[in-house]
Amino acid sequence: MGVLRTTRIILSWELFNNSRVPQTHIASQLNVNRDTVRLWIKGIKEFGLDGFLNKYQNAKKGERAKRKVDGLLKVRIWNLRDENRGCCGQKIKEFLLSDYNSDLSHTTIYKILREKYKLRSKWKKYKIRGPVPKAIKPREVVQMDSVDFGNIYAFTSVDIFTKEAEVKLFSSLTALDGLRFLNYSFRKTYKHADLIQTDGGSEFKKEFRLNVFKYADKHRYSRPYKKNEQSYIESFNRSLRKECLGWGKYKESDIPTLTEELSSYLIWYHDKRPHMGLNMQTPNKFIKGLPDF
């Protein structure tokens, strides 16, 4: 501890204790932060001037040793990300705890990930965003959309409460394809919904519109340029690209191969992939915990 800092501590105490100078004025005169002065005076009151100086001096000896993460643990974190299709740090934290009984903070996990991967920056959390549909029970809201993969289109759907999802590939993007996907996804998974929400694309008009009320009480089109009203399905579409189909373009002849990959992915998605929106449970585990469902 330098002499100058020792002198400032002593002067702070003398000005406060003997001259009754306010702490803000003391900080201004000594050119230090007022919170620093407050902590000095608090410490002196508790330990006495000599006791505080000794305690302060001992605390300043040398730099604190940097904490190191075991190399094996780093490899496990990297492997978990690769094995789980580039999953986020929150999910890696859960996998570490369940598979290796290791509990690391999210900050530490992301530091380790940045050593090997280029991570995307966070979205702007204070940006004004449009309203999104709410659900407090299964089948209250099912969102549907389509994703362009060149000569192939993936029709997607998700129950925004349980996070159950369905995907089917088509070689065209018509309202008849939309109807076929509606029949497929609801006969297989959802059965019935209070509300089906889609965007205003042509694939959700005509034949789709004429038949949608067989499976839902209401059908709502999200507002143009308000993609956040479709936030749940947009989030799933992003995961579908990142974790399964990627950002490439495909030919119609690729549909059989991609369908097999999708089948494997959806099994993993429902049985193995934890969701932050489900308190880090998988959709199937979350559903099993619901009463009377």
For residue 228, being part of any structural domain is answered with yes
The pairing of beta strand 216-221 with beta strand 153-159: unpaired
| Residues 261, 258: Cα–Cα separation, whole Å | 5
Which residues share a beta bridge with 219? 196
> Count of CB atoms within 10 A of residue 43's CB?
18
Residues 82 and 18 in one domain: no
For residue 128, being part of any structural domain is answered with no
- How wide is the angle at C-alpha 138 spanned by C-alphas 137 and 144, nearest 5°? 120
Domain extent, residue 87, equals: 71-114
Residues 76 and 33 in one domain: no
Residues 83 and 196 in one domain: no
Helix, strand, coil fractions of the chain, as percent rounded to 5: 55, 15, 35
CB distance 147 to 169 below 8 Å: no
- How wide is the angle at C-alpha 32 spanned by C-alphas 28 and 37, nearest 5°? 90
pLDDT of residue 1: 43
Task: Tell me the pLDDT band of 170, cut-offs 50, 70 and 90.
Answer: very high
Kindly state the helix (H) or strand (E) to which residue 3 belongs, with its residue range: helix 3-17
Residues 51 and 16 in one domain: yes
Residues 101 and 151 in one domain: no
Q: Compute CA 291 distance to the chain's CA centroid, rounded to the nearest angstrom.
A: 27
pLDDT score of 100 more than 60: yes
pLDDT digits (tens, 9 = 90+) for 178-225: 999 999 999 999 999 999 999 999 999 999 999 999 999 999 999 887
Sequence-distant (≥ 6) Cβ neighbours of residue 83 within 8 angstroms: none
Q: How many domains are contained in the chain? A: 3
| Residues 233, 256: Cα–Cα separation, whole Å | 24
Residues 150 and 271 in one domain: yes
Residues 182 and 213 in one domain: yes
For residue 65, being part of any structural domain is answered with no
Residues 166 and 246 in one domain: yes
Share of the chain above pLDDT 70, in %: 92
Which residues share a beta bridge with 141? 195
Q: Which two tokens stand for residue 250?
A: 């495909």
